[in-house]
Amino acid sequence: MQDTKSMPLERRLQGILAAREKAEGLIAMDVIVLCRCEDDLTHKLAEIIRHNNTLRKAEENGAPQHIIRQYVEVLQHDVATYIDNTKPGIPVSQQRSGRAIKSISQRLKVGCFSSYT
């Protein structure tokens, strides 16, 4: 067996990735897919925080109950689509470009988190 410490780092990483793909039967994910998943997460979390702050300010300022209820519904929709953006009966959450946001459940099915394990 070859001493891996004397090998260049790039070659060691290639060997590790090749062994992992062979052992798990995986195809290496494209970096663009990983970035898109992270961008979707960031976008959706920022939206949840923004809507939560709006709701809190409305409550502090004594907004009417029907306005508070609307903010709560928007926040519930944000959290629901963050978890699963494919539920029937719930409008799909989209980026400004019109592309549907990938939810956590979709990422787990695709494996966007696999690089972090």
Instruction: Show the domain range for 82.
Output: 30-116
The verdict on residue 23 lying in a domain is no
With respect to residue 63, please indicate whether it lies within any of the assigned structural domains.
Answer: yes
Binned at pLDDT 50, 70 and 90, residue 43 comes out as confident
Q: How far is CA 96 from CA 8, 62, 73, 101, in A?
A: 43, 31, 20, 10
Number of domains in the chain: 1
Higher pLDDT, 4 or 99: 99
The answer to the question of residue 1 being in a domain is no
Q: Which residue has the higher pLDDT, 21 or 93?
A: 93
In a domain, 7, yes or no: no
> What is the per-residue pLDDT for 105?
87
Crossing angle of helices 65-83/31-60, nearest 10°? 160
CATH number of the domain residue 35 falls in: 1.20.58
In a domain, 21, yes or no: no
Q: Does residue 16 sit within a domain? A: no
State the burial class of residue 53 (Cβ atoms within 10 Å of its Cβ: 0-12, 13-18, 19+).
Answer: exposed
- Residue 24 falls within a domain, yes or no? no
- At residue 94, the 3 state secondary structure works out as strand
Q: Which residues contact 88 (CB under 8 A, 6 or more apart)?
A: none
Residue 28 has pLDDT above 50, yes or no: no
Pick the more confident residue, 60 or 17: 60
Is the pTM of the predicted complex or chain greater than 0.75? no
